[in-house]
Chain A
Amino acid sequence: RKEVEQDPGPFNVPEGATVAFNCTYSNSASQSFFWYRQDCRKEPKLLMSVYSSGNEDGRFTAQLNRASQYISLLIRDSKLSDSATYLCVSRGRDTGRRALTFGSGTRLQVQP
């Protein structure tokens, strides 16, 4: 079983739509969680961190449910520029080994 699992999509949505991505993680020792965005043939870039209390950044809202080991990302009012692959990411508790563990990504295509 993969440590971080995501629906690969693709999600094809019209401009202005609201779309939600989900992710589950298997390592209960994971401490920190993030969503990264990766454009085609580009490197991953941090979109936002994910907290149990939920956090919002403009049109993006992320939520963590530790009991269910579940992470979500909600995008409101989708723009063409939101088309990308969204990677769900966890990081362990061990302060020495803080590498990121990535899911396989969910591809989003926003259509005009």
Chain B
Amino acid sequence: EAGVAQSPRYKIIEKRQSVAFWCNPISGHATLYWYQQILGQGPKLLIQFQNNGVVDDSQLPKDRFSAERLKGVDSTLKIQPAKLEDSAVYLCASSLVGGSNYGYTFGSGTRLTVV
């Protein structure tokens, strides 16, 4: 079974630039999550989708971050404009219907450095 695919693996941008990350979840997984992991910390949820609808985006800095999941499959996370403190690993995860831990799988992440 293919895992959660993310791209790019690494990205370096200057502050105030824009960046986008892409995630393709495991086939059939209705729930998709984006987490931000700053060095030395645990992952923090940014947004949760159930199919193509947003379930929880309470911790998403909406003035600069946006995410979408068109057609309930792939998802993109965008930062515009980036700040130095956005340097982190952005992890995408997917699971079967949101109530299940079965099959909860993380992608390898995108490591973002803002200079």
Residues on A lying within 8 angstroms of B by beta carbon are: 4, 8, 32, 34, 41-46, 49, 87, 89, 91, 95-105
Contact = CB atoms under 8 A, between A and B. Distances in A.
A97 B31 CA distance: 10
Contacts, number: 55
B42 A103 contact: yes
A104 B108 contact: no
Given A43-B91, A104-B40, A98 B98 contact: yes
Contacts of A98: 31, 95, 98-101
Contact of A43 (B42, B55, B108): B108
A87 B108 contact: no
9 contacts: A44-B106, A97-B48, A97-B55, A98-B95, A98-B101, A99-B45, A100-B45, A104-B40, A105-B42
